[in-house]
Structure 1
Amino acid sequence: MAAIDQLMVLYSGGTIGMQAGPRGLVPAAGFDARLRERLIAEPQRRMPPWRYRELSPPIDSANMHQGHWLTLRDAIVAAVEKDGCNAVLLLHGTDTLAYSAAALSFLLLGLGVPVVLTGAMLPASVPGSDAWDNLFGAVDALAQGLVPGVHLYFGGRLLHGARASKLGSATFEAFAELPRRRHGSRTATLPAGLDYHTLRQPVNLAVLPLFPGLRATQLRALLDSGVQGLVLECYGSGTGPSDDAELLEALREARRRGTVLLGISQCPHGHVAFDTYAAGDALREAGLIGGDGMTREAALGKLFALLGAGLPAEEAEYWLAQDLCGECADSSPAGADRP
């Protein structure tokens, strides 16, 4: 864990830097000026040597999409390889903060520096805002030494980038790691073609929760729309309507076309174990790969990283079942630090 020689502060927008507009809060550029003003006003706050970049224009994170993930990935890699930074702080809106943290966890595999994402529930300009505590708390966490990888800092807590979820919309402790059961151990060696050097392309992905009354025609319409990968949020430990032959056949047809089907639990504390119930085994037989204890954010980000790298369905399915950065395992590989 090296000391910070140069910190890159990347600002993508979000509530932390928003200002009032005629229709409500809107993203505003130039957050670096506000950060410098805060450092002058509160000299007890400490920053290592730092540089600054911002997304142009900064966005409300509700508008985040895969293209932005790739832009952020490129900016982080450039900060390390071109600007000589050995730590990165990414300021991001909270609506999709956990999604971006998860996606970047897979897009930055092997980068070798710590990356911390944070944001705020109230703009930095508002009295009583959590913005500065989150920002400087994230900086302090980096200064104390973090293992390489993606982390999320919020409300005084440092969270794993591929395990965090937003649980609240009106509390400063809005993010947490859900205690979802995980199995297995970390992949000891990164697969060729899946580290941060790998360029990705946009992928047509979808997420669908199972619910009582879901019709096969609804599922088929989604699968027939060109979806390359589907995260299916199953009941409990990975069950679904096993007596609906038409729905199961829609899944089989999609799998035969090469669509990757990933099953996760829709329970906040759940995990997938298809062999527990016959209703789960029916989904596995129809072509679903078990996502163990992955969150929705991690499942979506991992699917994007794998399919966006151009992997064929069979290879993507293999790596979906392996733990790449701690997203679905509690243990690290031999000799590795656990983030």
Structure 2
Amino acid sequence: MTAATHHTCQHVMVLYTGGTIGMQASASGLAPASGFEARMREHLASQPQLQVPQWAFREMSPLIDSANMTPAYWLRLRSAIIEAVEQDGCDAVLVLHGTDTLAYSAAAMCFQLLGLPAPVLFTGSMLPAGVPDSDAWENISGALQALGQGQPNGVQLYFHGKLMAPTRCAKVRSFGRNPFVTLTRNGGGTRASTLPAELAYSYPKHQASVGVLPLVPGIGAAQLDALLNSGIEALVLECFGSGTGPGDNPDFLASLQRAQENGIVIVAITQCHEGGVELDVYEAGSRLREAGVLSGGGMTREAVFGKLHALLGADLPLAEVRRLIELDVCGELA
């Protein structure tokens, strides 16, 4: 990214979805709470040395623990982000989100907001604002300062002073100030030379149904069929190593073949933290490819899950969905 692709943000919309950052104690434990705008304004007013852009605040409804995040909520969040830019005149958006599914939501928005003429940052915190040693205020003020200094259009994740590409990172720790890590995955994927107009942020999207199945030793066709017969449109198959599975199980392979014939898109990714899928390296992987399984290369689970939702939600022809899965759309295979 060159300096010319950055622009200093002057009017930021803060979208508050809930999450730990604004939680307060309840009879059942920490729960999302309203009224965070006033707390945020009070804190920033107490730090006059901080140079942050002007900001407005919108509380999403309902406020949720991010463990309750859904693809349906993503579509509402997508609409709120577009509305902030196109109707409210904001030149950037900051999304406050719980950390458990933050990487999923940020990755999904990378694909849902293609071409949006504004930067979007996602942040959250591991401890609620106001409690001892909380990281909430430093993440909020840091994200606002980063926007004020200028960011490229597109979606990024901000945490503990770092900006990360959501399609390349994951939450790997349930403690501490650095829960998110950029994974070392295979790169070098071929960039899509052109994208269908339907993928642009300005085109409406609908909810899709995508399943995820991690392979384990001894997994059989019955377990696979149960998921494939649940009404899903696509399946993320989390394979061993560089993309291997039970290639000596004819029933398992036949189930994959039937899924392809029935229009279900199946994408293989690796369960490993580093590397990626190369289906033709081992015979066990080649048999998956012969059964119609597509290679997810070095895509993370978060990236391929969000990508499938965007491609299927744009009502693209099945052949186009299958083609674009194996091409780099917004850095997920870079």
Structure-2 residue corresponding to 1:306: 311
Structure-1 residue corresponding to 2:229: 224
Structure-2 residue corresponding to 1:247: 252
Count residues with an aligned counterpart. 329
| Aligned residue among 64, 68, 71 for 2:69 | 64
Counterparts of 2:194 and 2:174, CA distance in 1? 38
CA-based RMSD: 1.1
Deviations 1:85-122 (A, max 9, x none): 11110000011000000100000000021100000000
Moved more, 36-45 or 7-16: 36-45
Deviations 1:52-109 (A, max 9, x none): 1111221111100011100110000001101111111000001100000010000000
Aligned residue identity for 2:134: S
Aligned residue identity for 1:206: G
Say yes or no: does 1:47 pair with 2:52.
Answer: yes
SS in 1 for 2:163: strand
Show the 5 A alignment for 1:115-154.
Answer: 115-154=120-159
Aligned residue identity for 2:238: E
Q: Is the 8 A contact 1:110 1:190 kept in 2?
A: no
Show the 5 A alignment for 1:1-339.
Answer: 1-329=6-334
Measured after TM superposition, the shift of residue 188 of structure 1 is 4.3
Question: Please, which runs of 5 or more residues in structure 1 have no aligned partner?
Answer: 330-339
Counterparts of 1:188 and 1:110, CA distance in 2? 15
Counterparts of 2:117 and 2:105, CA distance in 1? 18
Q: Which runs of 4+ in 1 moved over 4 A?
A: none
Q: Is the 8 A contact 2:7 2:152 kept in 1?
A: no
| Percent identity between the two aligned chains | 55
Q: Is the 8 A contact 1:114 1:150 kept in 2?
A: yes
For normalisation by structure 2, the TM-score amounts to 0.96
SS in 2 for 1:193: helix
Q: Is the 8 A contact 1:230 1:262 kept in 2?
A: yes
Deviations 1:164-196 (A, max 9, x none): 200000111000110111123433443221110
Counterparts of 1:161 and 1:186, CA distance in 2? 18
Deviations 1:23-66 (A, max 9, x none): 10000012110111101222222321111111122111110001
Q: Is the 8 A contact 2:25 2:31 kept in 1?
A: yes
Deviations 1:228-276 (A, max 9, x none): 1000001111111110000000000011000000111110102011111
Deviations 1:105-160 (A, max 9, x none): 00000002110000000000212100011111111221222111100011221100
SS in 2 for 1:162: helix
Structure-2 residue corresponding to 1:333: none
Counterparts of 1:264 and 1:146, CA distance in 2? 31
SS in 1 for 2:93: strand
Q: Is the 8 A contact 1:183 1:292 kept in 2?
A: no
For normalisation by structure 1, the TM-score amounts to 0.95
Measured after TM superposition, the shift of residue 312 of structure 1 is 2.8
